[in-house]
Amino acid sequence: MYTVKIKPDILEHRLDCSFYNPVGLAATTKLNSTMEVNKLSELVDQRRKITNGVRGPEWATSKFKLIRLQDCEHWIVNSDAAASITKRQFDENRRCKLQANDIVVAIGGYIGNAAVVVDECDAVIGQHSAVLPEPEQTGADSRFLVAYLNSRFAEAIFSRYVSGTVQAGINLEDLRELPAPKPNGAAQKYIGDKVRQAERLRTWAKETESSVTQYHQALVPSQSTLNFAKRVRLVSPARMSERLDAHFYPGVVDDYLRLHQQKFKPLGKLCTTIYNGQTQSETSSANSCKQITVTNLSSSFMGGTPRDVEMPGKQEKFLKPYDILMCNAAHNKAYIGKDLTFVHSEAAILPSTEVMTLRVDRNQVPASYVRAYLLTKLGYVQIQSTIRGITAHSYPDDMALLDIFVPELEDKYRDEWFACDENLALAGKACEIATQLTHVAKSLVEALIEGQISEAELISAEHALETGNDKLDRQILNRLKTDGVDGQGHALFSDLDQLYSLLEQASHS
C-alpha cells in the first residue's frame, strides 16, 4: 500500500491511483528531465501500426509460426522453436507479421519484456504481445530501443499503464503513447551495438554447438532403421541387473547392442563420477556459495542467476568444466533427459538435489561425445528407461548402467575429437558474454537517464571504434559492475581481451 499527493499540474486524463504510483511517477519525471523523449508511436515505421496479435491460434504443421512470450529469450525472437499455425490464420493476421528489426513487446504476462527480430521469418505474434515496427525507419536504433524497454525505467513507466484485474495488461492506445528516449544517433548506435554483439555471439555459439554435436553423432551408427515401437524382447542374463522391471530393458536398445557387439561401455565406466547435487538453504552471509537448480539448466549451457546458499561442509559436489548436467526429477517424465547442459565455467557452483552431474573421464572419451550420444533418439530412450516411481526420478546408479557406444578412432583423429570439448566450452563462454553484453546495454541506458554517463562520452567512444580505436570502449566497459555503471559490485568483465577475441572470432565465422 502507498499514498501519494498529486499536484494539479501533473494530473492527466487518468484518474486511477495506480497511474500515479510513486515509482512510475519518479521514473517518468527523471526520463523527461534528462532526455529528449518521444512517444513509441513516433519511433516506429509510420507505414505500419503498433498492433497486437493472434487470438485463438489454429495449430498446424506448417512453416508459418506464432511467436509467443516463451519464444522471446535473451532479447531475441526465436522463430525456429515457435509453434506453427495454419496458413489461413497467418494470412488473416498479416497486420502483425514480423519483419527484421521489429520489436516484440509483452503487453500481458511479463509486461514490458522486449525482444528484437534478427532475421526475416514467416511469423506473427500472439495476443499477449505487440509489435513495434522497425524503428530504423524513423532514425531510431532498434537495439537501443529494446535495451530501454528492458530497463528498470521502462518497467516502472509501464506499471503506470497496467489495467485489468483477471488478466492485467496494457492497451494498445496506451502503449503507443508511452515515452521513450531518443538520444544522439551515435550514442544509440554505441549502446545498440552491444546488443548486436550479443546476437552475433549467440549465433556463433549455436553454430559451434551444432557443429560439435554433428561431428560426434556422425561417429554413432545409424539409428534410422531401429524399431522404437518394439515392446517384446528377450533379455539375456548378461544384460540383467538388480532392476527387474521390463521398462529398464527397451527392446530397441537390445537390438542396437546386438548389431554392434563389443563396442559399448557402461556409462559408469566412462565417468569418474555420477552424482545428484545437494540443496542448501539460501543465505546472505559471507560464508556462501552459488547454487543452480533445474531452472538454470537449458538445452545448451547454464543460464539465469544462481542462488546464494550456505557453504556445504564438504565441497566434492561442486561442478567442474566439461561436466554434463541433467534434470533428474520432474512431474512430467518426458523432461528427464530431453535437455543436457554442458558446463563451460570454472566458477565454484553447487548443483541442487534435482540436478544430476555426469563427470566424464576425458582420458577415454570427450565429454561432449557422451552428451551428443545421449542426445540421440536412442540415448533419450535409454535415459527414460532409468526413471523410477510415480514422481519420476532418475538415479545415478541406474544411469551408470546405460550402455554407450564408443567409436574406435585412429590416433591421428583423436586430438581433433577431444578438441570438441574446448570448442563447446568456448561456445558456452560466448553465451555467457552475450548475456553480459545485454546487461551492459541495459545498464548504459539507465546510466544515461540517471546522468551517470553522458551522451558525449558514448558518442566519443563510438567515433573512436569507427576508426579502429577501442581505448574509450574499454574505459566504459571497465566502469561496468554487476550492479551497474560505477557500482559497488564486482567487475562485469574479468577479461576484456577474451571479449574482443571472441567477437573477432564470431565475426569471421
Any idea which of 235-244, 280-289, 468-477 has the lowest mean pLDDT? 235-244
* Euclidean distance between CA atoms 159 and 22, whole angstroms: 10
State the pLDDT at residue 458.
98
Assign 141 to helix, strand or coil.
coil
Any idea which of 129-143, 235-249, 453-467 has the lowest mean pLDDT? 235-249
Any idea which of 8-22, 330-344, 354-368, 468-482 has the lowest mean pLDDT? 8-22
166 pLDDT band (50/70/90 cuts)?
low
Average pLDDT estimate for 252-272: 93
pLDDT at position 1 over 60: no
pTM score of the predicted model: 0.92
**24-71, pLDDT tens digit by residue?**
999 999 999 999 999 999 999 999 999 999 999 999 999 999 999 999
| Residue 229: C-alpha distances to residues 99, 246, 251 (Å) | 42, 14, 9
Question: H or E segment at 25?
Answer: helix 22-34
232 pLDDT band (50/70/90 cuts)?
confident
Q: Angle at which helices 455-466 and 471-479 pack, to 10 degrees?
A: 140
* Euclidean distance between CA atoms 382 and 256, whole angstroms: 12
The grid coordinates of residue 251 equal: 527392446
State the pLDDT at residue 307.
94
266, HSE (Cβ side, Cα atoms, 13 Å): 15
Average pLDDT estimate for 250-277: 93
Q: Which positions ≥6 away from 391 have C-beta within 8 Å?
A: 329, 331
Percent of the residues in the chain that have a pLDDT greater than 70, as a whole number? 99
Amino acid identity, position 92: E
CB atoms within 10 A of CB 231: 9
Q: Which positions ≥6 away from 22 have C-beta within 8 Å?
A: 2, 4
The DSSP call for residue 97 is B
State the pLDDT at residue 205.
97
Any idea which of 131-135, 162-166, 326-330 has the lowest mean pLDDT? 162-166
Any idea which of 152-156, 227-231, 330-334, 350-354 has the lowest mean pLDDT? 227-231
* Euclidean distance between CA atoms 336 and 202, whole angstroms: 25
The grid coordinates of residue 234 equal: 528377450
Backbone angles phi, psi at 412, to 5 degrees: -70, -15
* Mean pLDDT estimate for the chain: 93
Average pLDDT estimate for 387-400: 93
What is the set of domains in the chain, with CATH numbers? 23-182 (3.90.220.20), 192-208+428-507 (no CATH), 220-408 (3.90.220.20)
CA 136-141-143 angle, to 5 degrees, is 120
Q: Which positions ≥6 away from 229 have C-beta within 8 Å?
A: none
111 pLDDT band (50/70/90 cuts)?
confident
Place of cell 549502446: 191
Average pLDDT estimate for 395-414: 94
State the pLDDT at residue 163.
83
Q: Which positions ≥6 away from 488 have C-beta within 8 Å?
A: 481
**421-451, pLDDT tens digit by residue?**
999 999 999 999 999 999 999 999 999 999 9
Place of cell 535415459: 383
Average pLDDT estimate for 216-232: 91
Average pLDDT estimate for 221-247: 81
State the pLDDT at residue 6.
76
The grid coordinates of residue 66 equal: 506464432
Average pLDDT estimate for 185-196: 98
SS3 sequence of 377-431: HHHHHHHHHCCECCCCECCHHHHCCCEEECCCCCHHHHHHHHHHHHHHHHHHHHH
State the pLDDT at residue 9.
74
Assign 373 to helix, strand or coil.
helix
Question: H or E segment at 366?
Answer: none
Average pLDDT estimate for 90-117: 93
